[in-house]
Amino acid sequence: MAIKEVVYTAVLIESERGWGQRVDEVKEFKSEKKRDEFITKFNAKNNEPTVPDWYMHAEKGQNILRDPKRKKTKKH
């Protein structure tokens, strides 16, 4: 059984009044801590007393298991 690596994701969601929400982008991170730091920093700008007509926010996505990337070796 091959060893898998975990990829942590953050989902960027665009919201617009009258139009709803859509996923704008999915970002991948090598650690849960880096992903959580990104989400906190990204959402820090959403600090208005009322909800604007258009805004974006980040939330935790699903963790992905994938085969680790192999390092390229030099051919002689």
What is the token pair recorded at 41? 């920093």
The reply to whether 48 falls in a domain is yes
* Burial grade of 10 (CB within 10 A; 0-12, 13-18, 19 or more): buried
The reply to whether 74 falls in a domain is no
The reply to whether 41 falls in a domain is yes
Beta strand segments in the chain, E: 5-16, 20-29, 54-60, 64-66
pLDDT digits (tens, 9 = 90+) for 26-75: 999 999 999 999 999 999 999 999 999 999 999 999 999 998 876 655 55
The reply to whether 76 falls in a domain is no
Of 58, 15, 62, nearest to 39 (Cα)? 58
Domain interval for residue 59: 5-66
The reply to whether 16 falls in a domain is yes
The reply to whether 72 falls in a domain is no
Predicted local distance difference test score (pLDDT) of residue 55: 96
The reply to whether 71 falls in a domain is no
Total domains present in the chain: 1
pTM for this model (two decimals) = 0.82
